[in-house]
Structure 1
Amino acid sequence: MKSPQILLLLATLLSTEARSPKSSLISLPRKHAAQRKHHAFIDKSTVAAHHDAARTVRGGGGGEATMTNEMFNMVKAVVGVGVLSLPAGIAAFGNAPSAALPAAALIASIGSIAAYNFSLIGRLCAITGASSYRGAWEKSVGASTAWIPAVSCVVKTFFAILAYSMVLGDTFNALFTTVGLNVGRQASLIGLTVTVLLPLCLLKNLSSLAPFSLAGIAGMLYTAVAMAIRFFDGSYSNPESGFPLDVAKSLRPMIGDKGASAVFSSNAFILICMLSTAYMAHFNAPKFYLELKDNTIKRWNIVVATSFSISILFFIGIAAMGFATFGGASNGLILNNYSTKDSLMGFSRVAVAFALVFTYPLAFVGCRDGILEMLQVPKEERTDAKLNTLTYAILGFVTVAALTISDLSFIMSFGGATLGNALIYVYPAIMFRSAVKNMGDDATTAQKLEVYLAMAFAALGIGMGGIGAKMALGKLK
């Protein structure tokens, strides 16, 4: 469990020179710009931007968010519905309680690497003066290929709202059963989509929904506590009595003999790739960096390290408690394993459903606007009629996909193996390598050495992604 601290410390040390007046992340032009045209960032069109960026690196970038607010919002962005699928990730390779130990180590290690790359993206914004993920790519790698991360972000957002729809279908199905109504999963999802999600997604101003997203953290915290209570009170310890009799046999606790050593199975890559989806918030890193008040690299690294550490604890708690309770039977949505007559877990379903219903439109708009950006539709041409038509099309497609696919763990693992790994590990390394190369002699020794670290993580991401995608597809069959 020492690896998270080591990696986060390494990230901080490597950025130390960014805090020194003699070697900041932005190397201020000491010569005339005409003598340095080979530097991609120092030309006639960007000199002013980079002076602003230099001030940002040293703090005073214009953001108003305190470190505490940033940490809260960052945890809220990282800890999402994906955490509820992690017990199934452990069940992919083990079924004995001890399998949770190496799983916790994986969760912490992957989380630490994700934190490093999240920090790296913010520092890339300091280097390039970019204000978005795509912008960082444009100003480091080049505008001609900026569509690559843009498309990846859109598709990854699509996977997110697909996961939301799947969870809502299962959750409302269980809630209807709790109150004595026999409404199937398909009917629940279709009814919810038509009567609630569609009207919310058609709203043109979503600012009134933002406060409801706070319920997400409260719901996850309650869920973690409730799962711990059910594990320690033994309500589900006997699959032949009590609450387990209220669920399908395949969802009842199944404890076997595949413990900690089972992590060496190739099936462990299922969990690893699910984590790439669970920790995925990196396309918002520029926004967080620019919003931070007095956004020096030191303050930025403290915010990222603290936020991801809290998220890691959330992930370990829910993954370990869910898996320890149900073992190899852990479902892709762990709440499905709990009885609909279990009032304690019933409140958890209500909290998760409430949070998802009101955060769904926020994620949906991100996907819809991303598609419009990809299609290069000018803002003045984005009429209400066009927005509504695109909303119908996207929501219809998502709903059909959610009705067809019932295994949330597949969406989490396959999405993480492909787009998650690219956005977390591969793209930031490519951008940082290009940024340091473009800085030429102004790049510090630490930055040049850090390129090797970033590229090593990129190679790791590609390797994990290839194996994980194969394992996820095999699991689907």
Structure 2
Amino acid sequence: MEYTATVLSSSVNLTKTIVGAGLLAIPFAYSKDGIFVGLLLTIIAATATAYGLSLLGKSSKMLDNPRTSSFFTLCSITYPQFTLVFDFAMFVQCFGCALSYLVLVGDVFPSVLGQDREFWIYSSLVIIVPLCLLKNLDSLRYSSMLGLLAIAYIVLFIIIRFFIAFPSLDFQDLGISWFKINSYSGMMSTFSILIFGFTASMNMFSICNELEHNSLKNIDKVIGNSVGVACFLFVVVGTTGYLSFGSDVKGNVILNYNPDSVFTKIGQFSLGSVIILSFPLLFHPLRIATNNMVFSIEQILGKKFAFFKNPMDAVTNTPDNEEQAPLIHRTVTQETTNSLRRQNTASSSLVLDATSFVQEAEAFQVPFTNFRFYIITALLLASLYMLGLNVQGFALVLSLVGATGSTSISFILPGLLGYKLFKNETNSKAIITGSIVCIALGFTVMFVSVFATLYFPQ
């Protein structure tokens, strides 16, 4: 396989992974937090997310071939008994978000172009299916660019409308709070909007694997570009949207504008486009997590594996991968699995050096044949569309999914990987400390988010 992803194309995909329909809920969060606290939480969330992504990038470099990195590979090295748990967290997070996007497609387009929700959900297949059949994340760069153009229109629309209305705005009458928190219960209920707004860990390893020049410097550039742009958009939309409508701002700020305006309708259409074009970016890691779970379950059930009887039919995260073939054409036996688990559950004095990491990683490449690729794709799409057509109200479930799944993959898992992989490395004290902070932050955010979801519903 030829690796052609650039820093720019990877930044586009990661930015689009972060920035979706949730952007339009930021003004509502600011209306509860006040400007200062809202900005502070946004910056904290951006910084924590960027550090978590950076930990994943550094972790990938512990492998002899960093292009084989994945959550499964690194968990197999560090916490083999929990690989299924972490992949399940990824599955739940991506599946829940993808399902919510289909429901939103059915809610947004009828108000703009007519027809019923079922018509538009079915119609989205025309765009979603071809994009979901692409096997490399970098292949989605053009659809991500279109999505970012749609986001650019929405952002410009909100900014321009703010400056048009600015001369007549009375911030006191609107109930604008600059430093005071308007509602503590409201802040709790909207906490997850800001904290989970930057979730992008699900695609981080695909970006590390596909970058043409995947040095840590380039990986950090991608992270900085993406999180920086996303943070800027969140701050601009959150501030101008809140200042435009004050305490009357709605959960989707587009709903505050004149629904009969052509520009508003274009904004609603752009929102629908953003949702559709975000779907494949969630589906890509969802499919990988599903395949990893199937593999883990087969191992648990004691099945023996010859990874690929036909090497030409082999795929990892990206099919037809010739360069990775020497690593992935191996047999994972129960003896290898048990040996690795014994190493990881031995006394704390056990030291796993970089060489052992490499050897273990080479034994834990997940098979992903073309046949399995298409079967999993078909089953996932069928399940998502069946639920999307029949389910409308699942806000509580989705909030709990975000509180647990997003926290796990954004903070807890990167911290756990960083701690385990670097704890015996020299000159890694800062990484170890940062990893511990990341883990602590993750569990704190999870507790607060679950508590807020159950006791302070929006």
TM-score band, normalised by shorter chain: 0.7 to 0.9
The one of 415, 419, 430 equivalent to 2:416 is: 430
Check conservation: 1:215, 1:351, Cα contact below 8 A. no
Task: Label 1:323 to 1:159 Cα distance change in 2 as closer, same or farther (>3 A).
Answer: farther
> Secondary structure of 1:226's match?
helix
Alpha-carbon distance in structure 2 between the residues aligned to 1:301 and 1:387: 31
Kept after mapping to 1: 8 A contact 2:10/2:222:
yes
Q: Is the aligned partner of 1:205 residue 2:140?
A: no
Equivalent in 435, 452, 458 of residue 454 of structure 1 = 435
* Cα distance in 2, alignment partners of residues 236 and 163 from structure 1: 38
Range moving further from structure 2, 271-280 or 156-165:
271-280
1:262 shift after superposition: 0.7
Give 1:396's match in structure 2, choosing from 352, 377, 386.
386
Contact 1:134–1:146 (8 Å) recurs in 2:
yes
Deviation at 1:101, TM superposition (A): 2.8
Distance change >3 Å, CA 275–CA 148, structure 1 → 2: farther
Residue in structure 2 matched with residue 77 of structure 1 by the alignment: 17
CA distance in 2, matches of 1:204, 1:81: 19
Secondary structure of residue in 1 paired with 2:251: coil
* Closer/same/farther in 2, CA of residues 323 and 291 from structure 1, 3 Å limit: same
**Match of 2:61?**
126
Residue 81 of structure 2 corresponds to residue 144 of structure 1: yes
> Are positions 1:421 and 2:410 aligned together?
no
Contact 1:174/1:340, CA 8 A, preserved across alignment: no
Separation in structure 2 between the aligned mates of residue 203 and residue 292 of structure 1, nearest angstrom: 20
- Aligned partners of 2:112, 2:41: CA distance in 1, in Å? 33
Asked if the contact 1:197/1:360 (under 8 Å) is kept, the reply is: no
- The DSSP-based 3-state class of the residue aligned with 1:476 is coil
Amino acid at match of 1:462: F
Q: Write the mapping of 1:91-110 to structure 2, written as runs, cut at 5 A.
A: 91=31, 93-94=32-33, 99-110=34-45
In the TM superposition, what is the alpha-carbon distance from 1:321 to its structure 2 partner? 1.9
Aligned equivalent of 2:147: 216
Q: What is the SS of the residue equivalent to 1:169?
A: helix
Q: Which residue does 1:39 correspond to in 2?
A: none
Instruction: Measure, in 2, the Cα distance between the counterparts of 1:319 and 1:105.
Output: 12
In the alignment, the residues of structure 2 paired with residue 119 and residue 386 of structure 1 have an alpha-carbon distance, to the nearest angstrom, of 30
Q: Are 1:86 and 2:26 an aligned pair?
A: yes
Taking structure 1 as reference, are residues 257 and 225 closer, same or farther at Cα in structure 2, changes over 3 Å only?
A: closer
Q: Do the aligned residues in 1 keep the contact of 2:151 with 2:274 (CA within 8 Å)?
A: no
Find the aligned partners of 2:11 and 2:288 in 1 and give their Cα distance.
Answer: 26
Correspondence for 2:211: 292
Contact 2:98 2:384 in 1 (8 A): no
- Checking the alignment, whether the CA contact within 8 Å between 2:407 and 2:442 is kept in structure 1 is yes
**AA of the residue aligned to 1:224:** V
Is contact 1:197–1:361 with CA below 8 Å preserved after alignment? Answer: no
Residues 383, 159 of structure 1: CA spacing in aligned structure 2 closer, same or farther, 3 A cutoff?
closer
For residues 470 and 384 of structure 1, the distance between their equivalents in structure 2, rounded to whole angstroms, comes to 39
Shift in Å, 1:287:
1.9
Q: Which moved more, 1:310-319 or 1:351-360?
A: 351-360
Q: 1:174 aligns with which of 107, 111, 115?
A: 111
Cα distance, 1:471–1:314 mapped onto 2, change above 3 Å: same
Measured at CA, do residues 66 and 424 of structure 1 come closer, stay the same or move farther in structure 2, by a change above 3 Å? same
- How far the C-alpha of 1:134 sits from its partner, in A, is 2.3
Equivalent position amino acid for 1:382 in 2: R
Contact 2:134 2:140 in 1 (8 A): yes
Q: Which residue of 1 aligns with 2:365?
A: none
1:264 Cα offset (Å): 8.4
* Helix, strand or coil at the partner of 1:295: coil
Q: How many residues align?
A: 380
Counterpart of 1:470, as a letter, is F
1:231 aligns with 2:177: no
Offset of residue 225 of structure 1: 0.9
- Are 1:467 and 2:448 matched, yes or no? yes
Unaligned runs of 5+ in 2: 299-367
CA contact (8 A) 2:174 2:245 kept: yes
Cα distance in 2 between the residues matched to 1:148 and 1:467: 22
SS at match of 2:165: coil
Distance 1:202 1:294 in 2: 28
Q: Which moved more, 1:367-376 or 1:426-435?
A: 367-376
CA distance in 1 between partners of 2:449 and 2:265 (Å): 33
1:315 aligns with 2:234: yes
Contact 2:91 2:290 in 1 (8 A): yes
Identify which of 113, 116, 119 aligns with 2:48: 113
Report if aligned partners of 2:133, 2:377 keep a CA contact under 8 Å in 1.
no
Q: Distance in 1 between matches of 2:413 and 2:241?
A: 33
User: TM-score with structure 2 length normalisation?
Assistant: 0.73
- Tell me the CA shift for residue 224 of structure 1: 0.8
Residue 256 (structure 1) shift: 2.7
1:102 alignment partner AA:
V
Cα offset for 1:200?
Answer: 4.1
User: 2: distance between equivalents of 1:305 and 1:469?
Assistant: 29
Note if contact 2:26-2:193 (Cα within 8 Å) is conserved in structure 1: yes
Letter aligned with residue 76 of structure 1: K
Q: CA deviation at 1:362?
A: 5.1
Distance 1:197 1:174 in 2: 19
Q: Is the 8 A contact 1:206 1:362 kept in 2?
A: no
Q: Is the 8 A contact 2:49 2:410 kept in 1?
A: yes
Of 136, 144, 154 in structure 1, the residue corresponding to residue 91 of structure 2 is 154
Percent identical pairs in the alignment equals 19
Structure 1 residue runs of 5 or longer lacking an equivalent are 1-60, 240-252
Structure 1 contact 62–290 (Cα < 8 Å) conserved: no
> Alpha carbons of 1:202 and 1:371: their partners in 2 closer, same or farther (altered >3 Å)?
farther
